[in-house]
A and B are shown apart, each in its own frame.
Chain A
Amino acid sequence: MGKYSVSLKTLYVIFLVIMFGAFTIGALLIVDDTGVSRLGAIYLERSQKFPNISNVVFGVYGMYRFYDTLFELLIFSTAVLGITVFSDLEPSPGSASRRPVESHVVSASASFLYPIIAVFGIYLAFSAHLGPGGGFAGGVISGTGILLLALAKGAEETARNFREDSMKQLEYVVLFLALLVAILGALYPTEVYRDALGTGVITLVNISIAMKVFIGTWAILHFFVKHRGEV
């Protein structure tokens, strides 16, 4: 046996996992779902009530279930907060003196590509109610785009350019806005989402979520870039 011996525990684990998989796949196969009327159909049907929102997926997470999205934002903020709490952890040796990638291709293409990435992110945030996209996706795209700049110019200098510390305060202000929209939108749905400012509220919320996610993503990425080990 030697090399190929498997312990009893491993066999037991494999047995357990197979039981789990068999149970779940069995549940999929046994249940016949033809003719089940689902909530999604009602969402599609009622989407005419809000003609300014043609993306039904946005309607679900941006209007009907914005309370869940509020918690989603809170979760993201908590992750950023966790990173901030631990930000005084000492960086790995040598990472401060590590120089950015010295390549003309990277630095030239970064300064050329970053504006395009940023515009794309902003576009996604602006047009979330019309097509695929959303504040979160836009924010993540712009935030990870900065990673490109950080590779070209060095992480510390990029962080200084973006005034990371003061930006972080802004992130929590967005939560207030989301809270307000969650409560007001639940109480006065048509007024908030269609009549008063109509698409204005939606765009405002999306843009601020994108802003917040952008800052948060960069904060998290910066932390991990700063603390990375020897590459």
Chain B
Amino acid sequence: MTALLVGVGSYVSAGILSLLFSRYRFWFSLLGWAGALTGASFGVSSFLGSGPLVGTLGRWGILGIEIVIDQTTLLFSGLVVILNIFTLVYLRGSKKGVFYCLYNFLLATTFSIAFSHDLFNLYVTIEFMSLVSILLIGYERKAYQIYAGAKYLIISSLAMSLYLIGLGLVYRAGGSLGISELARTVEGGTDLSISLGLCLMLTGLAVKGGVFLFSMWLPDAHSYSDTVVSALLSGMAIKSGLIGIIRVSEMLDWSQLLLVLGALTGIAGAIFALVSRKPKKILAHSTISQVGYILIGIGTGTPAGVLAASLHLFFHGLFKALLFLSVGAAGVGADDIDRARNLSVPLTSKVGLVVGSVSIMAIPPFNKYFSKTMLVEQVNQEWAWFAMLAIGLGTALYTLRLDWALIFEARTDWAGKNDFVVVVFALAVVLSSLLAWVILGSPEMVQLLSLHHLATYLVIPVVGGFALLLFKKKLSEISPPDFPFSLENSLVSLFTGFLLIELVLFVL
């Protein structure tokens, strides 16, 4: 199991080397990628050999750091490796050595989060992730980037303080830091004492994970930063908070709470995405909206539901990064989509946008269809099902609005700025649906491809398209409010979210 360290070690070394010998930064980063690929394949072979496994890093026994290899680990580390190679080729040495150093550090810490199963190790790695992220956000030193970075830093530092307070309570009552050790204690009957601390920890992780009310820093940070950074943050970095929530929810049954948070996050994110006007802002809000699905998946509480959430996390990372890269390669991330007639978008970006949009709308053979159908199969509550339908409709609306502007209205730039990495990446996103086949096996796949699911997911975009035709004029009159996302109000909404958790868990 310790072989997974190869991935982290090679990323860290690649980061340091590309800083010290910045001439060869691309090649060092490529070597880092190769090392991570090796580490991830060690993980895969271990998983195929002996199934899900919980162990310790090294030979320390109970005293060491607990790690885990399960489907979530493999999917997340696979996501890191895939995003790494495409963003690396997309960068092609366009940045300085320092950028590559931070880039590799970000990959190292996310790779480490994939297999971490220890509450304090999660704290350290997530904290490192946020410090690297803010330097990447502010890398180009535009004032708005610096502001977004500072906001992220302050909110996340507060959140991690709450996490640490929760960790103190959990350690006091449970006496351990390893998640499976604590789960054993919970079975022994000290449920309440640990769940009080875990509430605080959940708050901290939700701030990192892009949950609505908690992470109001996200739209600014993800839309103001550079293309590759946005792709990595949206596709990969916020997922580390969600991985943390997946791990923490192994200890307790939190289905009601997570379903409520998921529905709230999904619907609110979709509404904000619908009224935003800049492509990158839309994509950033859409990230929040998609996090809703993942939370609902974790909230089902069944192993299949958590698998669906992990699969969705993987697929979302891919298509969201693709959308960010396509928009960024065209250089239209900060333009107004109501004035798209003046824009020109290269053909490759349009291809990427088409593939990304059909994926995000969950149109059948594309990847999100499978994870979303799995989710729907697992959800029992009727209201959660309707919430998912509403999120799906919202997703169709804002995606079609974005597509209408950037694919049909904008001119096609045949000659200039074509970037074929985007097309190859799009191909990879298309092929990734095969992975669902590999993981689920064919009987389940046939079940997922049943007629009523197919019909539902074909009807939603059509309904969305008609609704868009009706309301397009109305939508372009609305401009999105800024005040919920100021530093002060995001802090207030963080504590409001904490109050919500308390209410759902202990009053209802």
Is B one of A's binding partners?
Answer: yes
With A75-B131, A81-B98 known to touch, is A31 a contact of B63 (CB < 8 Å)?
no
With contact pairs A39-B62, A81-B101 given, residues A16 and B174 touching in the complex (Cβ less than 8 Å) = no
Q: Is the CB of A36 within 8 A of B173?
A: yes
Q: How far is the CA of A169 from the CA of B19 in the complex (A)?
A: 9
Binds A, one of B235-243, B374-382, B439-447, B494-502: B494-502
Q: Known: A39-B62, A186-B59. Contact between A31 and B173, CB under 8 A? A: yes
Smallest Cβ-Cβ distance to B495: which chain A residue: A16
A228 at interface, CB cutoff 8 A: no
Contact status B499-A16, CB under 8 Å: yes
Residues from chain B with a CB closer than 8 A to the CB of A86 are 141
Q: Does A65 contact B (CB under 8 A)?
A: yes
- Out of A27, A39, A63, A176, which one reaches B175, CB within 8 Å? A39
Given A16-B492, A27-B196, A68-B124, A78-B135 contact (CB < 8 Å): yes
Q: Does B13 contact A (CB under 8 A)?
A: yes
Contact with B along A45-77 (1 / 0, CB 8 A): 010000000000000000111011011101100
Q: Known: A27-B196, A28-B169. Is A20-B128 also a contact (CB below 8 A)?
A: no
Question: Does A19 sit within 8 A of B, measured CB to CB?
Answer: yes
- The answer on a CB contact under 8 Å between B64 and A65 is yes
A79 interface contact, C-beta 8 A:
yes
- CB contact under 8 A between A186 and B64, given known A30-B192, A37-B175, A78-B128: yes
Q: Given contacts A39-B63, A39-B177, A85-B98, is CB(A67)–CB(B172) below 8 Å? A: no
* Contacting pair A186 B5 (CB below 8 A): yes
Interface residue A3 (Cβ < 8 Å from any Cβ of B): no
Distance (Å) between the CB of A110 and the closest chain B CB? Answer: 33
A-B pairs with beta carbons under 8 A, tally: 142
Q: Mark A157-171, 1 if CB is under 8 A from B, else 0.
A: 000000000000100
- Do the beta carbons of B12 and A68 come within 8 Å of each other? no
In the assembled complex, A91 has its CB within 8 A of some CB on chain B: no
Nearest Cβ in chain A — how far from B440, in angstroms?
Answer: 34
Question: Quick one: CB contact mask for A1-25 with B, threshold 8 Å, 1 for yes?
Answer: 0000000010011001101100110
Q: Does B302 interact with chain A (Cβ within 8 Å)? A: no
B127 at the interface (CB under 8 A from A): yes
* Bound Cα distance A169, B16 (Å): 10
What's the nearest-Cβ distance from chain A to residue B469, in Å?
A: 40
Query: A78 contacts B499, CB within 8 Å?
Result: no
Establish whether residues B196 and A30, one from each chain, have CB atoms under 8 Å apart when the complex forms.
Answer: yes
Interface of chain A: mostly helix, strand, loop or mixed: helix
Do the beta carbons of A172 and B492 come within 8 Å of each other?
no
- Which B residues touch A182, using CB under 8 A? 5
- Does A231 reach chain B (CB closer than 8 Å)? no
Q: How far is the CA of A23 from the CA of B199 in the complex (A)?
A: 10
CA distance A156 to B506 in the complex (A): 59
Q: In the complex, what distance in Å separates the CA atom of A185 from the CA atom of B2?
A: 11
Given known A-B contacts A46-B63, A78-B102, A183 and B492 have beta carbons under 8 A apart: no
A193 to B109, CA, bound (A): 26
B495: A residues at CB distance < 8 A: 13, 16-17, 19-20
Contacts of A224 in B (CB 8 A): none
How many whole Å from A185's CB to the nearest CB in chain B? 7
Within 8 A of B (CB), among A104-154: none
**What is the number of residues of chain A that contact chain B, defined by CB distance less than 8 Å?**
51
Name the A residues within 8 Å of B31 (CB-CB). Answer: none
Min CB distance A43 to B, Å, is: 6
> With the chains together, A188 CA to B59 CA distance in Å?
7
Beta-carbon nearest neighbor of A39 in chain B: B176
B198 to chain A, nearest CB (A): 10
Could you say which of A23, A39, A67, A74 contacts B57, with CB atoms under 8 Å apart? Answer: A67
By the criterion CB–CB under 8 Å, are B135 and A20 in contact?
Answer: no
Which residues of B lie under 8 Å from residue A196 when comparing CB positions?
none
Which positions 459-508 of chain B face chain A at CB distance < 8 Å?
492, 495-496, 498-499, 502
Interface residue A82 (Cβ < 8 Å from any Cβ of B): yes
The residues of A that contact B199 with a CB separation of less than 8 Å are 23
B62 contacts across to A, CB distance below 8 A: 39, 42
Q: Are B128 and A30 in contact (CB under 8 A)?
A: no
Instruction: Write the nearest CB–CB distance from A179 to chain B, whole angstroms.
Output: 6
In the complex, chain B residues whose CB is within 8 Å of the CB of A24: 165, 169, 200
Nearest CB of A to B72, in Å: 20
Interface residue B456 (Cβ < 8 Å from any Cβ of A): no
Q: Which residue of B lies closest to A65 (CB)?
A: B65
Chain B residues whose CB sits within 8 angstroms of the CB of A179 once the complex forms: 9, 12-13
With an 8 A cutoff between CB atoms, is A230 at the interface? no
Question: Does residue B105 face the partner (Cβ distance < 8 Å to A)?
Answer: yes
Decide yes or no whether A198 CB sits under 8 A from chain B: no
Instruction: Choose from A17, A75, A81 the contact partner of B127 (Cβ within 8 Å).
Output: A75
A residues near B169, Cβ cutoff 8 Å: 24, 27-28, 31
- Binary CB contact string for chain B from 70 to 99 against chain A (1 if under 8 A, 0 otherwise): 000000000000000000000000000010
User: How many whole Å from A66's CB to the nearest CB in chain B?
Assistant: 9
CA distance A169 to B20 in the complex (A): 7
A50 to chain B, nearest CB (A): 11
Q: Which B residues lie within 8 Å of A19 (CB)?
A: 495, 498-499, 502
**Once the chains are docked, how many angstroms separate the CA of A86 from the CA of B101?**
15
The verdict on A33 contacting chain B, using a C-beta distance below 8 Å, is yes
B171: chain A residues at CB < 8 Å are 38-39
Q: Inside 8 A of A197's CB, which chain B residues have their CB?
A: none
When C-beta atoms are compared, the residue in chain A nearest to B171 turns out to be A38
The interface residues of chain A lying within 8 Å CB-to-CB of B131 are 75, 78-79, 82
Contacts A39-B63, A71-B112, A75-B128 supplied; 19 other A-B pairs, CB < 8 Å: A9-B492, A20-B498, A23-B498, A27-B169, A27-B196, A30-B192, A31-B172, A31-B173, A33-B172, A38-B176, A64-B60, A65-B64, A65-B121, A67-B57, A74-B128, A82-B135, A175-B12, A179-B13, A187-B2
Chain B positions near chain A (C-beta within 8 angstroms): 2, 5, 9, 12-13, 16, 19-20, 57-60, 62-65, 98, 101-102, 105, 108-109, 112, 120-121, 124-125, 127-128, 131-132, 135, 139, 141, 165, 169, 171-177, 190, 192-193, 196-197, 199-200, 492, 495-496, 498-499, 502
Top 5 nearest A-B pairs by Cβ distance?
Answer: A186-B58, A38-B175, A27-B196, A31-B193, A16-B495
11 contacts between A and B (CB under 8 A): A9-B492, A17-B495, A19-B499, A24-B169, A24-B200, A39-B171, A78-B131, A84-B98, A186-B58, A187-B59, A189-B58
